[in-house]
Amino acid sequence: MVDWIFIKFILICTSIAFACNIQYGFSSVYFNTPVDEFKSYLNESQIKRGNIFTDTFYNSIWNWLLNVWFIGFFIGIWINPIFCDKYGRRLTFLGANILSLLGSCIRCIAIKTYIYELLIIGRIIISISTAVTYQCQILYLQESAPTNYRGIAGFISEISFAVSCLTGMFLGMSSVLGSNLFWLLFFPIIPCFLSIVVIFLTKETPKFLFIVKKDYLLTKESIIFYHGKGVDYEKVMKEIELESLSDQEAKSFINLFKDFLKEKYLLKALILSCCALQNTVALWAILLSSTTFLSSVNLENNISQLSSTLMTLCYVFGTLSGSIVIEKFGRRPMLLGFSSANSIVLIIYLIFSILHNQIYFSKYICLVSFLLYAFTYGCAVGPISWFISSELVDQKYRSFIQSLCYAFNTIMVVITSFIVLPLFNTIGAYTFLILYIIPSIFCLLILFLYLPETKVIIFIPIIFIQSKDIRSLVIPIKNEPPYPVSRGTQMSKNNNLICIHGHKSGMKCICKPGFSGEFCQNKMFCLSLNLTSDGFCKECIENYEGDFCDIPICKHGEPNKSEQKCVCNLPYSGEFCNKLNKADVLLYHNNKMRMFGPIGFLILIPMGLMYYFCEKDSKQRKVKRYAKLLEKEEFEVCHKAVKTMLQEK
């Protein structure tokens, strides 16, 4: 059966993610492909002004066009918490998208008027707005998603970014829009306008409305909008209320910074988030300069030039694969596992890059290592690293901690991006060891020791609970029964002890006949009313066991003792997990294929590449053997195949 509520939620998340990432991904890569067209544009702009186009001028303006993005992004990072915490995620997102639309229009005007200064201004405006929308988007997805869908929501953001990067590279090709800069830069205007419409039609996040605005009616509407009409909105509001137990009025940026200096758990959350983001730093250098790195190991030029596109494609496949399993395996094992794989892949590149003169096929291993790096990055490193900070702290600090983390990441990306090529030209592949591998291993060690699992956290992050004032609030809640209590149930309540079907006597519950459990919450299924002297059942009815006959026998599953029901292993269903429904079986096997299908397909990619390059190398060596054999011979060649081989030689 189709879960329309889940599909609606996925569509909402996808719309929100693309509302930010279509501009972010496109603007990050559109300069990579039509380099000659931009050079002609700058030359024409100088001619129209009566100036001479020089290499010095070109290098200066080109560096500004590329690197002004980081300046604007850094500014936007610090603007975001000021507006996001005061005016809300929705209004800030909406305003930043309008600013992004303005920047896109300025870029088009710059192309038509040949005023390259406008191109720089448009790029810096877009980078500021993108930094704001990206942080708003992460908060939007994390604060509006049900707890069991938070991981999927984070992956949707990364999938949309990867697809947007791939779109930008594709459109930048000369055979598509790369030969016409105006239409290339006009493309984002349409999605920017649609993004404004999308954000206008969405609602503010439930947590911001409940905790900051204290508007319970709007909170209810927001929960129903994101979680579906059938949701128990009172339960969701209770979870949000528990998170807001320590929250007071929204604090200013200065007060948040003071809290950050005083509270150790905030510093710990920042360090862990920055360590996670450190593993993302290498991607941009590899993605944008892979041609240079692979050419240094004598890989064929046509293949080297395709490497960025192939990496982006593997990145997309990785994000799709990771989104399937994120809620099954959790954040911690996936982040640590794939981050470790990232470092191992870079070490493999380092080794074979150094040995490329001794081992002929090492150049192909270097290419495969970059493709695997992009795939493993998309599987977990990128998606989880960007949203983990929002799961480690409570609502009022999320925007602030995010800004600190993204500022750190931006600084590291700028520093490494500026020095990676000069350092690579000096010491070669050892650059990766200094800039990426050693810092990543150090950060991985910290994450292994201190990173908690955040998959199952509903309202209070693990690190946040370590604060003394919150611990005193959380502990009494643990004394309450771990199961839902309906409004119509008659119960006694004193000092957090609740007796569902019985009454309190001291610190224990005395149950009514036919009920058992610490809180008299379980019904007894005895075969007869005759009990032993200890109150145990002499015999249970079919499908129940235990001294009180209150534990269901689950044929293909595990009993949930607190709720007195079975949790079935797929594809089994039924009250006692003893039924097989045809639709459930088909859905189960389809999900298995969906999980392992992309991974199996991606395994074929490096195998196919290795086969292609080995076959090509074999033919080249065959030609050389024939040439060496016939080097000193003089005769007339009649055989067409031999003549063709000698011509190739």
Give pLDDT tens digits for 583-598.
Answer: 777 776 666 665 555 5
Residue 298 in domain: yes
What does the block give as tokens for 293? 């790195």
Single out the residue in 552, 580, 608 at which a domain terminates: 580
Non-local CB neighbours of 515 within 8 Å, separated by 6+ positions = 500, 501, 502, 521, 522, 523, 524
- Are 431 and 555 in the same domain? no
Q: Grade residue 604 by pLDDT with cuts at 50, 70 and 90.
A: low
- Number of residues that make up the chain: 649
Mean pLDDT, the chain, as a whole number?
79
| Sequential DSSP letters for 490-510 | --EEETTEEETTEEEETTEEE
Return d(Cα 621, Cα 615) in angstroms, integer: 10
Domains in the chain, number: 4
**pTM of whole model > 0.85?**
no
Q: What is the mean pLDDT of residues 360-384?
A: 88
Which amino acid does the sequence have at 302? N
Residue 227 in domain: no
Q: What is the mean pLDDT of residues 115-131?
A: 93
- Are 147 and 189 in the same domain? yes
pLDDT at 444 over 90: yes
Residue 527 parent element (H or E): none
- Are 520 and 606 in the same domain? no
Q: What is the mean pLDDT of residues 39-48?
A: 89
Q: What is the mean pLDDT of residues 176-195?
A: 90
- Are 185 and 289 in the same domain? no
Residue 232 in domain: no
The stretches of 428-495 forming alpha helices (DSSP H) are: 430-432, 438-450, 462-465, 468-478
Residue 169 in domain: yes
Is the CA virtual torsion 18, 385, 318, 332 positive or negative? negative
Residue with tokens 């604007």: 72
Residue with tokens 């494609």: 313
Q: Grade residue 346 by pLDDT with cuts at 50, 70 and 90.
A: very high
Residue 590 in domain: no
What does the block give as tokens for 469? 């004032």
| Chain segment 484-526, per-residue pLDDT in tens | 333 333 333 444 566 777 777 766 788 888 888 777 878 888 8
pLDDT for 589 equals: 66
Residue 429 in domain: yes
Do residues 550 and 522 lie in contact, with contact meaning Cβ atoms separated by under 8 Å?
Answer: yes
pLDDT at 295 over 70: yes
pLDDT for 601 equals: 54
Residue 254 in domain: yes
- Are 381 and 501 in the same domain? no
Residue 542 in domain: yes
Return d(Cα 74, Cα 97) in angstroms, integer: 17
Q: Which of 316, 434, 446 is nearest to 375 (CA)?
A: 316
Q: Is 145 helix (H, G, I), strand (E, B) or coil?
A: coil
Q: Is 316 helix (H, G, I), strand (E, B) or coil?
A: helix
- Are 7 and 153 in the same domain? yes
- Are 422 and 558 in the same domain? no
- Are 72 and 25 in the same domain? yes
CA 187 to chain centre: 25
pLDDT at 289 over 80: no
pLDDT at 297 over 60: yes
- Are 514 and 423 in the same domain? no
- Domain that residue 575 falls in: 492-580
Single out the residue in 525, 548, 580 at which a domain terminates: 580
What does the block give as tokens for 615? 């076959």
Single out the residue in 444, 478, 512 at which a domain terminates: 478
